[in-house]
Amino acid sequence: MSDDPVLAEIDAATGIATITINRPKVLNALDVPTASAFLQAVRKVTTTKGVRCIVLSGTGRAFVAGGDVAAFGKDPERAAEVVHDLLDALHPALTALRESPAPVIAAVRGVAAGAGFSLVLCADLVVAEAGARFVVAYDRIGASPDCGGTWALPRKVGRAKAMELLLLGDALSAEEAQAAGIVNKVVPAEELDAETLALATRVARGPTQAQGAVRALVDGALDRPFAAHLEAERASFIRMTGTRDFREGVSAFLEKRQPQFRGE
């Protein structure tokens, strides 16, 4: 396998893009070069025409074990500078993933901790192996979360559970994470890749523009009054009527056949 810290692959036939953090010796911990490579990978897949689903994964025994704490310990006086450099790359990457219409799936093997946990929370769908663990972890180094963790976690699990996880730092098993609403499906370790591919294939066959609109509406729902949200839904639906997939969906419904969406 390549020594590049992040791998990006696009299957033009299916529209599935895969971004893999590739530092297995340190459980895919994110240092500045890896964060920068992740940004470049995200830019590649989110600007490539025809990408209809994005899968995030990690090489080896872990998803992502968080930020590379060793980088902070080398020179504590430069810790703030390192954090700035990390987030200068990670923030635009995470924003690009949220703004892309292509749904994001996280395939979690092993631990997802710290920024890795936040990365999972950024995904629209999560498949985890039965042995996976999820932990906030920032409390262990005396820091507060980053990478959107405090934005996404209460939206997924509610404020009370979010505060429990953030303040106490207890790890969640895959099954506990599923019960909390963080994970969609838990599978045996040997089935993770196949289940992720099956889910990604199903998603990639959907109406990509409408899927992106769904995410935007759900993300904004908690921040808008009901009447304003109704208007946001109206505007979104009207935009979708201008897409090729909407026309195909209506035709397929009337003709009583399965639609053949193209993500356009």
Among candidates 115, 109, 152, 153, which has minimal Cα distance to 128? Answer: 109
- The first and second tokens of residue 56, run together, are 């995030």
- The first and second tokens of residue 76, run together, are 């504590």
Residue type for position 55? V
Among candidates 77, 74, 89, 158, which has minimal Cα distance to 119? Answer: 89
Whole-number pLDDT of residue 49: 96
Listing from the earlier edge strand, what are the strands of the sheet with 172-173?
111-113, 133-135, 172-173
Say how far apart CA 176 and CA 187 lie, in whole Å.
13
Q: Which domains does the chain have, with CATH numbers?
A: 6-204 (3.90.226.10), 208-255 (1.10.12)
Per-residue pLDDT of the chain (264 residues; tens, 9 = 90+): 688 999 999 999 999 999 999 999 999 999 999 999 999 999 999 999 999 999 999 999 999 999 888 777 777 778 889 899 999 999 999 999 999 999 999 999 999 999 999 999 999 999 999 999 999 999 888 999 999 999 999 999 999 999 999 999 999 999 999 999 999 999 999 999 999 999 999 999 999 999 999 999 999 999 999 999 999 999 999 999 999 999 999 999 999 999 999 999
SS3 43: helix
Whole-number pLDDT of residue 1: 65
φ/ψ (deg, to 5) at 262: -120, 5
CB atoms within 10 A of CB 28: 29
- The first and second tokens of residue 24, run together, are 């297995």
Whole-number pLDDT of residue 183: 98
Residue type for position 124? D
Whole-number pLDDT of residue 67: 86
Among candidates 30, 31, 7, which has minimal Cα distance to 20? Answer: 7
Whole-number pLDDT of residue 124: 98
Listing from the earlier edge strand, what are the strands of the sheet with 16-21?
6-11, 16-21, 53-58, 104-108, 125-129, 185-187
Whole-number pLDDT of residue 262: 96
Tell me the H-state helices in 58-143. 69-74, 79-99, 115-122
Contacts of 237 (CB under 8 A, 6+ apart): none
Contact (CB, 8 A) for 251 and 262 = no
Gyration radius (Cα) of the chain, Å: 19
